Structure 1
Amino acid sequence: MITAQHLTKRYGDHAAVDDVSFTAQPGRVTGFLGPNGAGKSTTMRMVCGLTVPTAGHATVLGRPLRSTPNPGRTVGVLLDASAQHAGRTGRETLALSARLMGLPPRRVEEVLEIVGLTAAESRKRTRGYSLGMRQRLGLAHALLGDPTVLILDEPANGLDPAGIRWMRELVRDFAAQGGTVLLSSHLLREMEAVCDDLVIIGGGRILAQGSAGELLRGPSTRVRSADDGALAAALTRAGHGVERTDEGSLATTASTEQVGRVALAAGVALTELRAATTTGLEQLFFDTTARHGREEIAA
């Protein structure tokens, strides 16, 4: 389990992360989402003990990761796949870490096979690796100690479609065996396919969090009418949530039957009425972070 409690990181007067709290549970994949500059990487670095918080604290498996003996045996971390010694081969990189963790040499062979790096590729110096090969080596390093927790920042960056599918299955299998996964990515379709829980951050603060099912459920009905203003007011008076969508229709938490009854009582003619039981992660992301993109940050 990963627990962040009131994490805050200030650089002078700027709060890169402001009072962030969330939990990543065992057996589940928690997606950590936000636009560039939202505070994702800073938060993940604080969870990993690489950045000291101004306030708040984070624990992994019940204790700060900095105080965990031989942390690679319990937590696998991939924050920057390019942060590898350019003069070492992939195999040398893993062998050195295995020795530091007290692992047998055969574990290097096992993780190379898991991530799909061939013997020839593992003997190449990492300066010649493609971005996709660097990602696979970074994942191999994260898996080396056979951890129970994975913290991964953009692990699919640079992978081809087959590699992205492989990475998705690896993460899902890890969680299915009881592991905890905290995963950050800009590939929203992949995140929607793999995540059990979602944490959305913008401007350094949590904007939304909960199970993917709850957050993606969304309004249940889309409706258009001869007088959308009057219909929206009538639905609100009846206790139903209402908002206008990008396509110009109304989205409401009321069922189609409830909308019909309210419209009839209000004397508003309907021109379109349809069920819309879910909303995609892409729409949820943009709706939630609309005021926390690069333009807003720059302002």
Structure 2
Amino acid sequence: MIQATDLTKVYGRHRAVDQVSFTARPGRVTGFLGPNGAGKSTTMRMICGLTLPTSGSATVLGQSFRDLPNPGRHVGVLLDASAQHKGRTGRETLRLACGLMGLPPGRVDEVLDLVSLTPKEAAGRTGTYSLGMRQRLGIALALLGEPEVLILDEPVNGLDPTGIRWMRDLLRSYADDGGTVLLSSHLLREVEAVADDLVIMGQGRVLAQGSTEELLAVPGTEFTSLDDTRLATALENAGYDVSRTDAGLTTSAGSEEVGRAALQAAVVLVRLQPSTSTGLEGLFFGTTAQTGREEIAA
């Protein structure tokens, strides 16, 4: 589990992160979203002990990241896939990490196979790797110690469609086996496809959080009838909001209330269904519309 409590980071006069609190739970993928400069990367760096908070705290598996013994055995981190020694081969990079974590050398071949890096690719120097190959190596490093927690920043960046689907299946399987995943990505559809919970940031603050199902749920009803004007008037007189859409009308009333109003107004209903969500993209832009892009990226 990951617990952030009132995390705050101030650089001079700029408050990059402002009292951010959330929990990423075991067995679930938590999507961590926000526009550029929202404070996501700074928050993730504070969770991983790379940046000291001005105030507040963050724990992973109940401890500060810096207090975890042999942290790579407990937490897999991918914050910057390009932060690899360009003169080492992929295999050498993993072997070195294995030695530091006290893992058997055979674990290198296991993770290379898991992330689909071929022996030829693993023998190449990371400075020659494509972005997608660097991502796969970074994911291999994160998975090397068979950790209980994954903290990933843009893990699908540079992956082709097949790689993106592979990553989605990997994260889903990892969470289903009881792991905790904190996933930051700008690919909203991919986050929507895999995330159980969402945390949306803007201007250093948490703007919305909760389960994906709850946040994407839309109250109300969509309908069309043989006399929309008459039925809309009946619903408005009953105290409900009614607005027109391209597909007909939508109202704050539930399906049962719309049916009763139609019966009392003697109007034949043609279509009646719960309001449909605009998806994560609609939620994201609706939530962050007033925050925009920060002048100082965080």
The CA deviation at 1:218 is: 1.5
Q: 1:58 to 1:188 in 2, by over 3 A?
A: same
1:136 has 2:128 as partner: no
Q: Is this contact kept in 2: 1:10–1:17, CA < 8 A?
A: yes
Distance 2:244 2:11 in 1: 38
Q: 1:52 to 1:91 in 2, by over 3 A?
A: same
SS of 2:23's equivalent in the other structure is strand
Q: Is this contact kept in 2: 1:220–1:254, CA < 8 A?
A: yes
Give aligned pairs, total: 293
Distance 1:149 1:226 in 2: 55
Deviations 1:112-135 (A, max 9, x none): 010000000001001110000000
Deviations 1:91-118 (A, max 9, x none): 1111111101111110111110100000
Gaps of 5+ in 1: none
Amino acid at match of 1:74: H
Q: Which residue of 2 aligns with 1:88?
A: 88
TM-score where L is the length of structure 2: 0.88
The CA deviation at 1:69 is: 1.2
- 1:49-60 to 2 correspondences below 5 Å: 49-60=49-60
Q: Which residue of 2 aligns with 1:287?
A: 286
Deviations 1:21-41 (A, max 9, x none): 000010111110111111111
Q: 1:232 to 1:78 in 2, by over 3 A?
A: farther
Distance 1:289 1:191 in 2: 16
Amino acid at match of 2:281: E
Amino acid at match of 1:152: L
Q: Is this contact kept in 2: 1:151–1:182, CA < 8 A?
A: yes
- 1:1-299 to 2 correspondences below 5 Å: 1-222=1-222, 226=229, 237=239, 251-259=250-258, 261=260, 274-294=273-293, 297-298=294-295
CA root-mean-square deviation: 2.8
Identity %: 65
Deviations 1:174-210 (A, max 9, x none): 1111100000111111111101111111111111111
TM-score where L is the length of structure 1: 0.88
Amino acid at match of 1:255: G
Q: Is this contact kept in 2: 1:198–1:212, CA < 8 A?
A: yes
The CA deviation at 1:233 is: 6.4
Distance 2:55 2:242 in 1: 37
Q: 1:44 to 1:129 in 2, by over 3 A?
A: same
The CA deviation at 1:229 is: 10
Q: Is this contact kept in 2: 1:219–1:278, CA < 8 A?
A: no
SS of 2:146's equivalent in the other structure is coil
Amino acid at match of 1:90: G
The CA deviation at 1:278 is: 3.4
The CA deviation at 1:219 is: 2.6
